[in-house]
Amino acid sequence: MGALRGITELTASFRGADVLVLCYHQIRSRERFVDQMAALSERGYSVLSLPQFTEWLNGASLPSRPAALLTFDHCYDEQLETALPVLDSLKFPATFFPASSDLACELPDVAAHWRKTLLELTKAGHAIGCHTHSHPDLTRLPTEEVRLEVLGSKLALEDALGQRVSTFCPRSRVRRGVHRGSRRGEVWG
């Protein structure tokens, strides 16, 4: 019941927001996650895909209100095992932001597993975005290393998926120049 109360308070707090963006880093309780997603469904939220959200940011109308966007940092196994069955049962799209280093793993089985996992996510209607290559604290890196982390992630993900990857979610805070550079396309190359 705590999760339901939490999502109720959250939706009440952001009632005037056009889109409620829920960013998951860890799912500690499947029950709570089920309750949260059920609350969105029961309250009539339209859960947007990343392309729908991007179109809205660029001036398109929302498909319906209220709306929400669901994101997951890392693509941890527990996120996939816990969240995917719930999301799929409700037909809720989500965006996953994995670090791409597993795709370049020297162990072929690990790299193949992650490539297959990411392809299955996209086939199921979920989106993939960059979360850096090796998950460093970008605030502690020189600009060129930041560029390599972000661009390396983008290129590895695009190679694995066979499609363009155009979103980036940093690990934590980043220097102002990183945000400016990514908006102008300087980080993307």
Domain end marker among 50, 69, 88: 69
Interaxial angle between packed helices 108-123 and 143-161, expressed in degrees from 0 to 180 and rounded to the nearest 10: 70
100-150 per-position pLDDT tens digit? 888 877 778 888 999 999 999 999 999 999 888 788 888 888 989 988 888
Q: Phi/psi at 87 (nearest 5 deg)?
A: -60, -45
Question: How many domains, the chain?
Answer: 2
- Of all residues in the chain, the percent with pLDDT exceeding 90 is 43
pLDDT over threshold 60, residue 60: yes
Q: Is 108 in the same domain as 46?
A: no
Joined together, the tokens standing for residue 80 give 């996939």
Joined together, the tokens standing for residue 101 give 């280093």
* C-alpha count within 13 angstroms, C-beta hemisphere, residue 172: 6
Q: Is 56 in the same domain as 123?
A: no
Q: Is 79 domain-assigned?
A: no
Q: Is 109 in the same domain as 171?
A: yes
Q: Which domain holds residue 38?
A: 1-69
Q: Is 78 domain-assigned?
A: no
Q: Is 91 domain-assigned?
A: no
